[in-house]
Structure 1
């Protein structure tokens, strides 16, 4: 889907330093210093319009959340969502996940969320999938020893690919759910895509994996 250009996005991002961390590479190893409290740190890669991170921050005040989004026209919506929620434990980064190790220190992150990531269905684009082994290498570096990678998607092919990728990398699958909303999980916070797909009757998949 083509994203609508927002010519005001640059200024809006620059003016929102209370939510968007302007120099994330300088925070490596010291992310809790940007929050009021030093707490477990959760990272959402591809935060989209921000419904998930704002909702999670509201429901989990004892966790600090960071949402990473590279699209300017999308992160502005996330800024608005976090601002409207009035939460102090959520921050955003306008960067690309390929530089994860340059922004986060070893063992700094407790949880990584991958919500409705681009499936990149063509084989030649495999290395762009956020569960490709080069990304898993980065996740292992920045996650704490008992840290989790939590994936949610409506795309069956990406889900199956990710299960294989996790397993081949030697990760332990803590949970594999083939129909998330059938569980009636009260802890689940839906993303915008999740609401859209679920309302259409599409199945939502979730898995939780840990490095060993």
Structure 2
């Protein structure tokens, strides 16, 4: 998705209390950032924020961090969070957003800081020479293993069959058990799915949504 540069986006995004401007300063200190010992769940590629907003406003006992690369995306996630929490009569104390190139994620989190990871409709990088850029690739799973707790689950959704089947191999070879898998999430027995913007778009076109849960051994 190519977005036109919005010069106002970064200043607005960075002035919010939801935003972490210098995330490298928080490595090993995320419980201090949130001010509690609650579990921290991480969404990689939070897009326009429907998923992390629904999760955080309905689960005050869990802390959430959303990561994306573009100010032009994150500023709308920030707005959605602020508006939704206001409508619910709550303060967004359990959610943070940050701009980050995910390949540098090991600079942000320390051992056992994250309890769950969500990856929703990441770039499939279909060309073979680009496969290592996939957020489910073994290269990235190895990075996540440096900061997730034992028994952590990674929830992964996609509309891309090639990426989904390759990801099953990535998870297995990286030391994860696949605890749940479906090629048709919306007609499965899985409970508690939150439909994202991309998910609705693809589903409305008649495309199957594929989903798996990988758990670290």
Fold in common (TM above 0.5): yes
Residues in 1 aligned to 2:75 and 2:190: alpha-carbon distance in whole angstroms: 29
* CA distance in structure 2 between the aligned counterparts of 1:110 and 1:156, rounded to whole angstroms: 27
Q: Which residue of structure 2 lines up, in the alignment, with residue 206 of structure 1?
A: 211
1:126-179 CA distance string (max 9 Å, x none):
111111111111111111011111101111111111001111223111111111
Could you tell me which residue of structure 1 aligns to residue 158 of structure 2?
153
Match for residue 143 of structure 2? 138
Q: Is it true that 1:106 corresponds to 2:119 in the alignment?
A: no
8 Å contact from structure 2 (residues 14, 20) kept in 1: no
**C-alpha distance in 2 between matches for 1:110 and 1:170:** 17
Q: Distance in 2 between matches of 1:48 and 1:195?
A: 13
Q: Give every structure 1 segment of 4 or more consecutive aligned residues whose post-TM-superposition deviation is greater than 6 Å.
A: none
Residue pair 1:36, 1:89 contacting (<8 A) in 2 also: no
The equivalent position to 1:187 in structure 2, one of 189, 192, 213, is: 192
Aligned residues: 211
Give the distance between the partners of 1:83 and 1:142, measured in 2 at CA. 28
Task: Output the CA distance in 2 between the equivalents of 1:37 and 1:183.
Answer: 36
CA distance in 1, matches of 2:37, 2:206: 40
- 1:93 matches 2:98: yes
RMSD: 1.3
Instruction: Provide the rounded CA distance (Å) in 2 between the counterparts of 1:163 and 1:78.
Output: 30
Contact 1:75 1:94 in 2 (8 A): yes
Match of 1:21 in 2: 20
Give the secondary structure class of the aligned counterpart of 1:68: strand
Residue 145 of structure 2 aligns to a residue in which SS? Answer: helix
TM value normalised by structure 1: 0.95
The DSSP-based 3-state class of the residue aligned with 1:141 is coil
Shift in Å, 1:74: 0.8
Distance in 1 of aligned mates of 2:131 and 2:56: 32
Q: Which moved more, 1:182-191 or 1:73-82?
A: 182-191
1:48-93 Cα shifts (integer Å, max 9, x gaps): 1111100111222211100001111111111111111213211101
